[in-house]
């Protein structure tokens, strides 16, 4: 089950850090990553020419010559 949407912590609470860490752990446990292919074409441009670097990609375009 997802954690409550937000939490309020008092800075003088000695348990504040542990409460925050528990909330973050619950939040990330329910998070899901999704990937979706999208059309990367641009009007008036040739491309993209894609270069992948680990978890990042660079898409290069040239002005359409025609």
Tokens found for residue 32: 């899901």
- Confidence class for position 2, pLDDT limits 50, 70, 90: low
Global confidence as pTM: 0.45
Q: Give 15's strand partners.
A: none
Domain residues for 26?
Answer: 16-63
Domain count, the chain: 1
Q: What is the pLDDT of residues 21-58, one digit of tens each?
A: 999 998 888 888 888 999 999 999 999 999 999 989 99
10 occurs within a structural domain: no
11 occurs within a structural domain: no
Which stretches within the chain are classed as H helix? 16-30
46 occurs within a structural domain: yes
1 occurs within a structural domain: no
């Amino acid at each position: 089950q997802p954690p409550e949407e937000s939490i309020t912590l008092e800075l003088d609470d000695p348990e504040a850090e542990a409460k925050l860490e528990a909330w973050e752990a619950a939040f990330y446990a329910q998070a899901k990553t999704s990937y979706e292919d999208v059309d990367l074409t641009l009007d008036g441009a040739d491309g993209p020419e894609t270069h992948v670097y680990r978890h990042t990609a660079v898409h290069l375009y040239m002005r359409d010559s025609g």
